[in-house]
Structures are given as structure tokens and as C-alpha cells.
Amino acid sequence: MDLFASTPVPVVPTPTTPPPGEGFDLFSTLMWPFKWLVEMILVFWHWLFTAAGLPAAAGATWVLAIIGLVIVVRSALIPLFVRQIKSQRKMMEIAPELRKVQEKYRGKKDQLSREAMSRETMALYKKHGTTPVSSCLPLLVQMPILLGMFYTLSDVKKHAEWGVGGVGLLNAELTKQFYDAQLFDVAPLHTNMIEAIGLGQTATVVILVILVVLMIASQFITQLQIISKNLSPEAKTGQAYQMQKIMLYVLPLAFIFSGVFFPLGVVIYWFVSNLWTMAQQFIVIRNLPTPGSEAAKEREERLARKGKALDAKGRVIPMEKYQAEQQRLLEEAERARAAAPKRQQPMGKQRAKKKQPPKSGSPAPKAGDKPSNGGEKPKGGPSTTPPPAPKS
């Protein structure tokens, strides 16, 4: 471990880096386990390719080892990646409901309102099985590995100039081989763009510019396929969607400025990792799209062409079973509607008064009152009108 090592003797006449292990570096100490893990995977792949006959110090050997490192790390993170995609999708889907809760308590600053808003928000997260932290957790797990890779490749130059190895299996001999490795026999893997410009290494600068552009483009496409095809119309009206649109253009700008400081080996790792993410995300969106999104409609069309459909639980079933299920659900809905109590029509006071039955023991009609039958004579029975007097 560099922290407890004595100051080594440089193996180059004029080293351009400070001696390793000089002073106390808390961050390097915290990164030590992750750097050790990265070195172990990198050395394993290097040993595998050299055993297959590739030169130990060749640029192709170490580039393939870096690609192998990407494969191992990203394969281990597949479950977290799927969980991240699902969590992000759920957060997008509940965004309209979250806005309703926020609107309900807008302007209310008292303690009871804040607590009620917090309870309703947490109940909404629990109902949909997600939290804001769950969508960030996979990224937080990946970050130490990415930083370990960055510092492992960044330290190659310093360790090679001072004739020491890394923190684990990347010993001094392997470090020197990595230091001597060049992509296409012209671009050293430990050099970044600033150093290449200062040394006048035009070929290295061109390769780095191309790789940085490809790295940014792959990052842009990966983010674009989420917000363009895997969001429902409701999710595209939320604040989270607006933030994703902003990040779609902000992240490439950040990589433009930070990419000039990445060693070539780190840029290769990042570009290959982006390609992995893009392909992996394409597969997830194609097979697990957000309901109501463009990707979900395209999946339903593909299944329909194959004579299949999705049942109520999201499982792929034959079209015959799907139609039978839809018919059954329709019949159940009709029975539930028929069994539901009828809604009483609201009645005005005047109409309610007319609907009331006559009370028992009501007084006899007074003289001059009109009969209830509109003045007509009752049919049948003796007439109550006296007969006219006979003419003389």
C-alpha cells in the first residue's frame, strides 16, 4: 500500500510526478479496496490474453484487458441496473400523483400540513414500491468502481516512473508493461489530452478527440432513448421529465471539459462502458417498457404480429387466451355495474312535495273547492245534481 511505503528511487532520469506514498491521502486510502479489486480483474484478463499468445506490453493486450474489466464490472451490476430502470420508470409514472399532493398543500406552512404532506408522499412511494433513493442506489454502487478504475489507470504513469507497483496484483513489472503499451503503436494508454498536446503527440490527440466525441455521443443516445421512447404521456408533463431533458444536454458539456483530463485508458473504459449501457438499456426498454409509452405500443404491435398479447399481469400469452380474458373481464365489469346500487336523482322541494302521499284523516273538502278529478262527473253511480223541474 502506497501510504506505508518508503520513498522509492525513480527509474527515469527526471520523473514528472511526485513519489508515491508521500504524505497522507484520505481519499486514496478510502479507494484502496476498490483499486485492489480493479487491479485483480485487470491482471487476470492480461494474463488470459498473454497466455493466448499476445505480447505482454502490446497496446492491444491491455486494451482487451480494459474491455474485460468492463465486462466483469457491468455484468455484476446487471441486477442493479434493471432495478434502477424500474425505479426511474415508477418515479416518472407517479410524478402526476406527486404533483397533486404538492398542489393540495401548496402555501400551507404549518407543521400539521407539512407532516400530512410527508405522510401522503411516503404512502404514495410505498404503494408503488419505489423511493427517490432507489433510483440512485445503482449509480452510488457503481461510482466507487469507476473511481477505482480511474485512479488505477491514472497512477500507472507515477508508479512506472518510480519503479513501483499498484496496491494489489499490478506489480512493478506489469505497471511498466502498461506504461509502455500504446494504442495502434502511437498513443500511450497513460497519456491524457493535455499531456499529448504539450508533448506534440498529434496522433494521440486525434485518437483522444475521436474517443471523447464517441463517449459523449454514446452517453447522449443512451439518455435520449429513455426520454423519447420509454415514458408515458403523463410522465412527460412532470418536473422529473424536464430535469432529464436538461441533463440530456448538460452532461455532454461536462464530459467535453472533463474528458481532456482522462488518460486514454480511462476514456476507452468509459466509452466501452457506455456502449454496454446503451445495448443493455435497449434490451430492457424493448422487453420491459413503461406502460403507455411509445416503446410499450411498439412491443404490443410486435406481439400482435406474432399472434400474442399481454395479459392483465403483463405476461405474454396467445391471442386466443387474451381475447377470452378480455371477454371475461368485460362480463365481470357488467355484472358489477348491474349489482351496484342505483344512484338516486336529486329532487327539488316542489317535486318532493307533490310526490308525498296524502295523510290519513285529512279534512273534507270545503264548499267551492274543485274536485280532484278536474270537475268531471264520476262515472257510474247516482248523480248528486238535482233533476230539473217539470214544465207546466
**Confidence at 4, pLDDT banded by 50, 70, 90:** very low
Region 244-252 average pLDDT: 78
Q: How far apart are CA 128 and CA 87, in angstroms?
A: 9
pLDDT score, position 53? 93
- pTM for the model stands at 0.71
- Burial classification of residue 113, based on how many CB atoms lie within 10 Å of its CB (0-12 exposed, 13-18 middle, 19 or more buried): middle
Q: pLDDT tens digits for 164-183?
A: 888 889 999 999 999 999 99
Angle at 269 between CA 264 and CA 275, to 5 degrees: 125
pLDDT at residue 192 tops 80 = yes
The grid coordinates listed for 379 are 262515472
Q: How far apart are CA 91 and CA 89, in angstroms?
A: 5
**Confidence at 359, pLDDT banded by 50, 70, 90:** low
Q: Which of 135-149, 196-210, 258-272 has the lowest mean pLDDT?
A: 135-149
pLDDT score, position 60? 93
pLDDT score, position 187? 92
Distances (CA, A) of 96 to 87, 93, 134: 16, 7, 19
pLDDT at residue 392 tops 50 = no
**Confidence at 99, pLDDT banded by 50, 70, 90:** confident
pLDDT at residue 95 tops 80 = no
Residue 211: CB atoms within 10 A of its CB come to 20
**Confidence at 387, pLDDT banded by 50, 70, 90:** low
Region 152-156 average pLDDT: 82
Q: How far apart are CA 45 and CA 64, in angstroms?
A: 8
At residue 356, φ and ψ (nearest 5 deg) are -65, 140
Q: Which residue has the higher pLDDT, 314 or 224?
A: 224
Q: pLDDT tens digits for 33-77?
A: 888 999 999 999 999 999 999 999 899 999 999 999 989 988 888
- What is the end-to-end Cα distance of the chain in Å, rounded? 149
Burial state string for 297-308 with b = 16 or more CB within 10 A and e = fewer than 16: eebeeebeeeeb
Q: Which of 162, 155, 174, 217 is nearest to 7 (CA)?
A: 162
Angle at 294 between CA 292 and CA 300, to 5 degrees: 75
Region 351-375 average pLDDT: 55
Region 92-117 average pLDDT: 81
Q: Which of 29-33, 114-118, 136-140 has the lowest mean pLDDT?
A: 136-140
Distances (CA, A) of 371 to 364, 365, 366, 375: 11, 8, 10, 5
How does the average pLDDT of the chain come out, rounded?
79
Region 277-299 average pLDDT: 83
Residue 219: CB atoms within 10 A of its CB come to 21
pLDDT score, position 375? 47
Which residue is it, cell 511498466? 176
Q: Which long-range contacts (CB under 8 A, 24 or more apart) does 324-330 make?
A: none
pLDDT score, position 133? 67
**Confidence at 347, pLDDT banded by 50, 70, 90:** low
pLDDT at residue 207 tops 90 = yes
Q: Which of 50, 47, 51, 5 is nearest to 24 (CA)?
A: 5
Cβ proximity of 144 and 28 under 8 Å: no
Residues paired with residue 308 on neighbouring β-strands, in sequence order: 318
pLDDT score, position 343? 61
pLDDT at residue 390 tops 60 = no
Percent of the chain scored above 70 by pLDDT? 78
